[in-house]
Amino acid sequence: MAQILSAFSRDANGTPIWTDGLIASKAITYVAGTTGATGVTTLFTVTGVVTVRVFGVCGTTITGAGTLEVGISGATAVILAQIVNATDLAANELYLDATPTTQVEALPSQLIISNGQDIIQTIGTTALTGGQITYYCIWTPLSSDGNVVAA
């Protein structure tokens, strides 16, 4: 039996909600030179073997013309395809693919991730100078030590 180290979301009666999986989230406000700098940021730390579905919700329109993608080391766009110009991601849009243009879309495909393959965001070409995205990871443990936590 997997030991879940993160908290369950609960309904109004206090009953854990887990039918679609557990949920971890991480919000990033982009600032040039720190959180918006080019390079890799760990979004979620993965242990054991888990299934995941990841997407982002843009809270504030992104500024700065860098590229943006989400994946794992060695496959940096395997989870969310690269957005060539991150300024294409506007407030309230969903980041599920390379062309974020909608506020309603089907959940992305479920992927299997093994131990040690943390979920990362990569900013390339140019720094992001402003904006905010909240990333959500809907996940389910497969191995007894399977876990996902926001980094």
pLDDT for residue 8? 66
Instruction: Tell me the C-alpha distance between 74 and 71, whole Å.
Output: 8
pLDDT for residue 102? 82
High-pLDDT (> 90) share of the chain, %: 70
pLDDT(2) > 60: no
Instruction: Tell me the C-alpha distance between 143 and 113, whole Å.
Output: 11
Is residue 116 a contact partner of residue 131, using CB atoms and an 8 Å limit? Answer: no
pLDDT for residue 14? 73
- Share in percent of the chain as helix, strand, coil (round to 5): 0, 50, 45
Kindly report the backbone phi and psi dihedral angles of residue 82, in degrees, each rounded to the nearest multiple of 5, phi listed first.
Answer: -65, 130
pLDDT for residue 3? 60
Q: Is 17 helix (H, G, I), strand (E, B) or coil?
A: strand
pLDDT for residue 7? 65
pLDDT(18) > 70: no
DSSP classification of residue 13:
T
pLDDT for residue 5? 60
